[in-house]
Amino acid sequence: MLFASARQTVVSIRMAQRVTPLQRLKFNNVALKKLPLDSSLEPGSRTVTGACFSSVQPQPLLKPTFVAVSEAALALLGLNADDVLCDPHGAECLSGSRVIPGSEPAAHCYCGHQFGHLAGQLGDGAVCYLGEVEVEAGAEQRSNPISTSPCGRWEIQVKGAGLTPYSRQSDGRKVLRSSIREFLCSEAMLALGIPTTRAGSLVTSDLYVQRDAFYSGNPRPERCSVVLRIAPTFIRFGSFEIFHPVDDFTGRHGPSVGRTDIRAQLLDYVIETFYPEIQRRHLDRQERNASFFREATVRTAKLVALWQSVGFCHGVLNTDNMSILGLTIDYGPFGFMDRFDPEFVSNASDKKGRYSYEAQPYVCRWNLARLAEALGTELQSAKAGAILDEFMTIYQDCYLDIMRRKLGLLRQQEPEDVELVADLLKTMHITGADFTNTFRLLSAVSCPAGEQKDRDSTDSVVELIVEQCASLEELKVMILSMAETNPGMFNMVTNQPEVTKQLEKIGRLKDLLVINEVELKIKQRDHWQRWVKQYRRRLAHECDEVSDPAAVEKERVRSMNSTNPAVVLRNYIAQNAIEAAERGVIFQRSEVQQLLKVLENPYSVSADLERPVWSAGNGSVQADGDSIKGQEVKENTKRKAAADTHQIPYNSKPPAWARTICVT
């Protein structure tokens, strides 16, 4: 009996050992328990009424294989990256090709205002909710609010896992290019300290779909790929718009018009689950809802201030791409600015510049107004209006606080700081300075000391900044391209401020036509010497009445170098990783995995950062937020670019071909 019992124990142990960490994930799919679920598995796209989710069956990939994984993101689920990679079914499980025990695949129903107009039912057309994983947060996660889930669960999704009721005319698949961009940027934003959804893994396959990247009638086969996305929830502003009545302008409406019971159910779920402190604080429903809306407003204002501080442009700020938790969500045609341009548009499809860099704060406020409308009688309009009136003040205060830290202004807050920041951005714009590299270089500007030492220090920093500024040809292209992204540039029947702005551009272009490269560099140097002189006067105030100016200076430099990144995910850097992946680089030498390592430490100047990356400048393609080189590039130019292949460090000034990259 003892022998038999021992044998049973051994067998049980061996069986337990065969249970992989992925199989041991503890699912508690609360969203599907508390919100209405459409359980029909009827194939094809359809209107889904009276439900927040629809059951789906992910379609498996052919020979799924890992391209890259994020150790930090997988750790949120209690998973070790090595265990996942060693799991023979790991790539299948994390791509939706094999159902993980306890998961309940579903797609979320939502609507949205797209480019200012109600689009009706949208929903997860290529995304599949797998479930919610319960994990006790580790000490590191608890100390970092943006790595903590307020409900103790992490929703996991697979993006690109096939058709859902919301796929409309698409095939529910994502290709390698868009998947690489989302995977990398999700993790890069976290490292920059910006609230974001996460990406745990990137899987590609031998399953191909046809994509006509240039919309030229020449489709080509591309590998289907899947990103594992992680967040406390992916509920968004548009989730509340499924109850939207018929829109006067478009004639469209949400699929669940009049279902105030489901709206109340959804709102209760969001507040009770993700804003528990608000739920505990308020007994009155209207007061509770107003407090929730104000918190959503504050988080959104702070989020967009963080975007602006690193030159990030989302690209498609529709209401369906705005997280109810104030996270950066749905990475498509995003972009980090190279040269500073307030009218920078990362999405080539956005011909009118609705979602330009400078417009982002105003668009976010507009989207919050649509959320208030969607809440209907759950939120008193007067209270909503008063909260919305606070948005710009919250945003501006947060933005100025960040900019002070970026400039090392830590000890005092002076009214002139607003002008100092404005003058800095104006100088950047006039000279075509690189946004990321210029801020990084400013830590080398010293507080006033000896006159000769000051002059030498200032001159050396100015020279480094001028090296990063645009050439004469680049500035001409920048100004001329504004007419392409802003069709109203030369339309003199627009409002007077717009006319004035466009005339200023014309004046700048005229000035550039009558000078040469040497004269331009002299002008750029003069602009920067004037601003640095202004900056150093302000830095002197930081040392007023301090016993140890050297300690103050040391802390300023440390703070600036931990606030101004040395590297961000520029389009050309992402493009290099895309092209390497498309050439079939194996996981162990994956450029995506190597680049992730760099992006996880954006404030460090390490050997990995300085490690050159291949920059071939070959033509690439677009779709769902993928980068392309402009189709107008002639074949001989492309051959020359390929012949000029060279290596560029991640933190270098972008190569000339970078400005031809287009994302749509």
Active site residues: 320
Say if strands 37-38 and 53-55 run parallel, antiparallel, or are unpaired. parallel
Beta carbons of 241 and 110 less than 8 angstroms apart: yes
C-alpha atoms less than 13 angstroms from C-alpha of 111 in its C-beta half-sphere? 28
CA distance 605 to 283: 51
| Tokens of residue 224, six digits | 């289907």
Three-class DSSP category at 291: helix
Distances (CA, A) of 446 to 436, 451, 458, 527, 557: 19, 12, 8, 18, 9
* Burial (CB count <10 Å: 0-12, 13-18, 19+), residue 385: exposed
Furthest CA-CA distance within the chain: 100
Beta carbons of 578 and 620 less than 8 angstroms apart: yes
Q: Per-residue DSSP letters for 566-603? A: S----HHHHHHHHHHHHTT--GGG-HHHHHHHHHTSTT
| Tokens of residue 356, six digits | 């330009």
Q: What residues contact 132, with CB distance under 8 A and at least 6 apart?
A: 27, 28, 29, 30, 31, 153, 154, 155, 156
Q: What is the torsional sign of CA 578, 579, 583, 585?
A: negative
Count Cβ atoms below 10 Å from residue 242 Cβ, excluding itself.
30
In the DSSP assignment, the letter for residue 206 is E
* Angle, in degrees to the nearest 10, between helices 285-310 and 381-389: 30
Distances (CA, A) of 208 to 64, 167, 174, 223, 513: 12, 18, 10, 5, 49
* H or E element that contains 337: none
Amino acid at 560: M
Amino acid at 449: A
CA distance 181 to 334: 9
- Nearest in space to 132 (alpha carbons), one of 145, 111, 150, 120: 150
Distances (CA, A) of 591 to 95, 176, 376, 460, 656: 20, 13, 48, 34, 21
Distances (CA, A) of 362 to 303, 327, 354, 581, 611: 13, 17, 10, 37, 39
Count Cβ atoms below 10 Å from residue 345 Cβ, excluding itself.
26
Distances (CA, A) of 131 to 148, 226, 265, 605: 17, 16, 19, 39
Beta carbons of 312 and 368 less than 8 angstroms apart: no
Answer left, alpha or beta for residue 481, where phi above 0 means left and psi between -120 and 50 means alpha: alpha
